[in-house]
Homo-oligomer: A and B are copies of this chain.
Amino acid sequence: MQLEAVVRRLELEELYTDYVHCLDADELEHWPDFFTEDCFYRVTSAENYEAGMPLGLIHATSRNMLKDRVSALREANIYEPQRYRHLVSSIKIREEHRDWLDLVANFMVVRTMQEGDMTLFAAGRYLDQLRRQNGTWKFAVKNVVLDSRQIDTLLAIPI
């Protein structure tokens, strides 16, 4: 492994780090910036993913659709004072090309309700394709594949 490969690895770590801090800090307005304009984003279950089912809990085929979703979430304005905390582990490059990468990473999300109850909210894999644009890695494809078939939430939030 050369310095170049080392740097790439740390860049990827950094991307996932920034991504989860954006979500956990509820800075959802910045969330679409992690994606390419023509991105594909989906939250789905492992079962549906493996069966090749195209849809999911959330499904978007452009960055603009992600922005719309954030607006919808803000307008819905449901009083949900919970906090989310992501843990990401085991980021792995599965395929590597000059300008794009295929990755898998494990994640877990803990939800804390205002009264203090903590629950495992979600666990699963990110199955992502990254594209390099102007020196930055962006998600061209992001499949959030939940181990569970269902997710306990009023509104489908980004994960």
Instruction: List residues of chain A with CB under 8 Å of any chain B CB.
Output: 1, 3, 6-7, 9-11, 14, 16-18, 20-21, 24, 46, 83, 85-92, 104, 106, 108, 110, 112, 114-120, 122-125, 147-150
- Chain B residues with CB under 8 A of A14: 92
Closest approach, in angstroms, between the C-beta of A115 and any C-beta of chain B?
8
Known: A3-B3, A11-B1, A21-B92. A87 touches B116 (CB 8 A): no
- Chain B residues with CB under 8 A of A112: 123, 147-148
- Chain B residues with CB under 8 A of A115: 149
Inter-chain contact A90/B16, CB cutoff 8 Å: yes
Inter-chain CA distance A46–B24, complex, in Å, is 12
Q: What are 18 contact pairs spanning A and B, CB under 8 A?
A: A1-B7, A3-B3, A14-B92, A17-B92, A20-B90, A20-B106, A46-B83, A85-B106, A85-B108, A88-B89, A88-B90, A108-B108, A110-B120, A112-B123, A112-B147, A117-B148, A118-B120, A118-B122
| Minimum CB distance partner of A114 in chain B | B149
Inter-chain contact B86/A116, CB cutoff 8 Å: no
Closest approach, in angstroms, between the C-beta of A23 and any C-beta of chain B?
10
- Chain B residues with CB under 8 A of A83: 46, 147
Inter-chain contact A86/B89, CB cutoff 8 Å: yes
Known: A17-B91, A87-B89, A106-B86. A148 touches B6 (CB 8 A): no
Inter-chain CA distance A102–B43, complex, in Å, is 33
